[in-house]
Structure 1
Amino acid sequence: MSWIVDRIRPREAPSFSRPLALLVAGALFLENLDGTVLQTAAPAVAQEFEVAPEGVSPAIVGYLLAVAVAIPVAGWVAERFGTRRTFLVSVAGFTAASVACALAPNLLWLCAFRIVQGVAGAMMIPVGRIAVLRSVRPTDLLAAMAYLTWPSLIAPVIAPFLGGVITDVLGWRWIFVLNVPIGMALAVGGALLVPRAEHRIRTPLDRWGYLLTAGTVVCLTGGVELLRDGRPWLVATLLLLSVTLAAAAAHGMTRREHPLFVPEVLRIRTFRAGNLSGSVYRLVITGAPFLFVLLFQAGFGWSAAAAGAMVTAVFAGNLGIKPLTTPIIRLLGFRRTLVWSIVAGGASLLAFAGVHASTPVPAIAVLLVFSGAVRSIGFSAYNTVMFADVPRDLLPAANGLSATLQQVGTALGVAAAAAAAGLGTGIAGPEAVELGYRLAFVPLAGLLVIPLVGALRLPAAAGGHATARR
């Protein structure tokens, strides 16, 4: 009879604001979309500015680097000036920078405006998320994170197709013009939904910690980006420098009274797994759509619109499985969910090494849908388990660090996919371009061994109270 009582007992209201969560999800979607939407427009930008297509890459990488560098200080800015004010100013800055990008007279100014756009976008990520998570109960964590997960899943997938269509129909500058009405809507929503009353903490900024962290991010991203350029000594120098700067930053933060990040959160096993090995997982799943587009366009000879349309099958898998992700996690627990999603995701990537131009399109679409479904499950599990055991007083510190690590993983995703493509095409040779792009999926899938080991080391009951029903 207990199950009858459970069914007729009135359910508690959620401990977070759904409208606020949707608002933040919209801001995250906009920020993530602009990180990749320019890729398919690169040839059109290059033609107008009279440069080679690869010469447009600073406008793409500069945005991602700006986001990664600005995120570490976003939490401090929000605590110092208030979540509501910071969110509204960042939305306004992002919208204004979008207008400037649309009016850019040359590539140099486009890169400069993209950097400003990235800094403003970076402020929206941790600030919006902490506004949602500040009062959430552990039993509502899965539901709250579901709202904040879909932007990171959808935006990188639909961006290639959306960017291609806008460029073909309206011109590449309209990619940025269309940000204006979205930004205005977010500003109105922020003014109405983000809480006004809040206690602000005025702590000094850890300037040395920030500079060392920013240097780590720049050197790490730059090193991975240069992997495809055939300069191993420069790559090795940058990667070694990034490790040195990271060690110096971590050491200094254990000695300062108000560190940029609180190293204590990394002692929490679920937080550590969700962010360290989880960042490698995010690297792979955000880099895969870029590799799909390369295979379909450069390997199979498809048009940009056809390749972009096919990649939307990944989005179909993401969206289709979304109502089931929470029940799956509740049924299997975080550990088993992560293990099986990583294994299935790796298998789906390896399967593309055997896909040919003659492979039936429906078969490719089914494989992409499956890849999207398993990545959605894994993404949701990682985004939830990392906060499952974080005490409320450490939530701001955990949020800032996790946002930084996630963005670094995202920034490295495209660079790692490009490096894998360069490795594959280098092995296959210029006469077997299709084979080269198919081979690129092997090292990308191989990187999933790192998060798999991290997931296997989690206790079977890790984050169990976050999967309990209310």
Structure 2
Amino acid sequence: MVTLTPTQEKYLPYVLAVALFMQILDATILNTSLPQMAQALGESPLKMQWAVISYALTLAIFIPISGFLADKYGTRRVFLSAVIIFCVGSLLCAASPTLDFLIGSRIVQGIGGAMMTPVARLILVKSYPRNKLLTVMNFAVIPALVAPLVGPVLGGYIVQYASWHWIFLINIPMGVAGFIMGKKLVPALFEDTKRLDWTGFVLFAAAACGFTLAVEFGSQTGRGVYGLLLGLGASLLIGAYIWHAKRRAAPLFPLSLFDIRTFRIGITGNLFTRLGISAVPFLLPLLLQVVFEYSPSQAGWLLAPIAVGAIGIKPWVSKIIQRFSYRKVLVYNTLFMGSLIIVLAQFNDASQWLWFIPILTIMGACNSMQFSAMNTITIGDLQGTQTSSGNSLMAVNQQLAISFGIAFGAAVLNLLRERLQMDTLVAFQTTYWILGILTILSGLYFLRLKPEDGRGLY
């Protein structure tokens, strides 16, 4: 355990707080800004999904190597480099003249984000004794609760009264503050490292990109064959990774993790459940602005209840799970969330906005409970070195689910509009029906849990 100075011990959690706030704000501020960004870049608002997908996919690909880089080159150097890369990416995003340039800039941002938050979290884990860690972490993650509430509203006002460039430029002062704090407070921690599984990393990264692109191309007129070939290629790459991991002593993600039943169920259920859920925060602002013609700030305020519900349910999650078990909570909560997504398909008039508030508040609460339960049951039975690799794979899985979910939701919407020539509102409604049914079906997977699974993890 590293010895911290009194100043470091008191203020080091602020470093993770700033890093978390920057990353989550950047992820949530964009959704309400997409229609105005599309107009400025000469694109359709319904074609802007890759501005979001590229960032989430980059996080998923580079998170696994963040710990290795921190151990080899030192936590201080890697964290400060990550902040610089994130800020450079933000400047490039603000200067983007085209959608393709913006996507490339979001990838740069994602590389910085993939190292910034995980390394900041690692610094706290290595710097504080276990009896202080929960208190420190609870303080540091407060911005993770606040940023989703602030992001959509702030993004809406920025694009309405300033310009979309500022949703990226506001990262710069926060980045400067984070860099100064990091330079003064972050200790330089090193660990002995084994050689990174670069072959496994390349196979995994290529497969993740292949599956995401397969969904995108599969929805485009005349490119279905490319989508099919990409899907097959990505499947072969997953097979190649499994073959490789069985023969390597220390693979990127050990296959032995999947011998643990609760991890296997949790990670798979996590992926499929989030496919439907992840598309909603992307599609809803588009529905409100493109179809119902809400202003960006109005759309931002209507998304705020999701964060309010997520924060409000937090004190009750443990008690609810303890009362009903992980199995019942995950099965019934997933079914309920799927039903709420289908309820969103019933809106057909801008004047019905008042009904959005209770529905989205309940949806936010259900999301929060779902993610807490899934994450806990996934890693609850891991032991020793499995904990680190399992936690890393779970974080990667979450980002992949976001990128797959947005890609799938956008693909279905564009397929209905372009190939089936549906009216835009009807296409949105049908997409919500499909996402809701998919979420309901994914909830049945949690029936594989036993009633006693997770007992003692409250």
Length-normalised TM-score, structure 1? 0.84
| Inter-partner Cα distance in structure 2 for 1:292 and 1:57 | 13
Contact 2:310 2:365 in 1 (8 A): yes
Distance 1:66 1:270, change over 3 A: same
Q: Per-residue deviation at 1:245?
A: 0.5
Distance 1:417 1:241, change over 3 A: same
Opposite residue 416 of structure 1, the aligned amino acid is F
Counterpart of 2:30 in 1: which secondary structure?
coil
Q: Does 1:74 align with 2:43?
A: no
Q: Does 1:239 align with 2:253?
A: no
Counterpart of 1:229 in 2: which secondary structure?
coil
| Inter-partner Cα distance in structure 2 for 1:147 and 1:459 | 34
| Inter-partner Cα distance in structure 2 for 1:367 and 1:384 | 26
Match of 2:197 in 1: 206
Q: Does 1:364 align with 2:356?
A: yes
Contact 1:131 1:194 in 2 (8 A): yes
How many residues are matched?
448
Q: Per-residue deviation at 1:39?
A: 4.3
Match of 2:303 in 1: 311
Q: Per-residue deviation at 1:132?
A: 4.9
Query: Comparing 78-87 with 274-283, which one deviates more in the overlay?
Result: 78-87
Q: Per-residue deviation at 1:40?
A: 3.9
| Inter-partner Cα distance in structure 1 for 2:377 and 2:185 | 27
Q: Per-residue deviation at 1:279?
A: 1.8
Contact 1:141 1:384 in 2 (8 A): no
| Inter-partner Cα distance in structure 2 for 1:147 and 1:352 | 34
Q: Per-residue deviation at 1:89?
A: 2.1
Match of 1:320 in 2: 312
Q: Per-residue deviation at 1:55?
A: 6.5
Opposite residue 395 of structure 1, the aligned amino acid is T
Q: Does 1:462 align with 2:453?
A: yes
Of 331, 338, 350, 1:339 maps to 331
Tell me the percent identity.
32
CA RMSD, 1 decimal: 3.3
Distance 1:105 1:306, change over 3 A: closer
Q: Per-residue deviation at 1:211?
A: 0.9
What does residue range 282-297 of structure 1 map to in structure 2 within 5 Å?
282-297=274-289
Contact 1:291 1:421 in 2 (8 A): no
| Inter-partner Cα distance in structure 2 for 1:304 and 1:369 | 19
Opposite residue 276 of structure 1, the aligned amino acid is T
| Inter-partner Cα distance in structure 1 for 2:307 and 2:266 | 23
| Inter-partner Cα distance in structure 1 for 2:227 and 2:91 | 35
| CA deviation string 1:299-345 (max 9, x = no partner) | 33333332222121212211221222233233333222212221221
Q: Does 1:452 align with 2:443?
A: yes
| CA deviation string 1:230-264 (max 9, x = no partner) | 33222221112111111111220121123111222
Q: Does 1:99 align with 2:99?
A: no
Opposite residue 433 of structure 1, the aligned amino acid is T
What does residue range 60-209 of structure 1 map to in structure 2 within 5 Å?
60-104=52-96, 109-132=101-124, 151=144, 159-191=151-183, 194=186, 196-197=188-189, 200-209=191-200
Q: Does 1:391 align with 2:383?
A: yes
Query: Comparing 275-284 with 131-140, which one deviates more in the overlay?
Result: 131-140
| Inter-partner Cα distance in structure 2 for 1:234 and 1:371 | 36
Structure 1 stretches of 5 or more lacking a match?
1-16
Counterpart of 2:293 in 1: which secondary structure?
coil
| Inter-partner Cα distance in structure 2 for 1:403 and 1:156 | 18
Distance 1:307 1:52, change over 3 A: closer
Q: Per-residue deviation at 1:408?
A: 0.6
Q: Per-residue deviation at 1:20?
A: 5.9
Contact 1:271 1:387 in 2 (8 A): yes
Counterpart of 2:364 in 1: which secondary structure?
helix
Structure 2 stretches of 5 or more lacking a match?
1-8
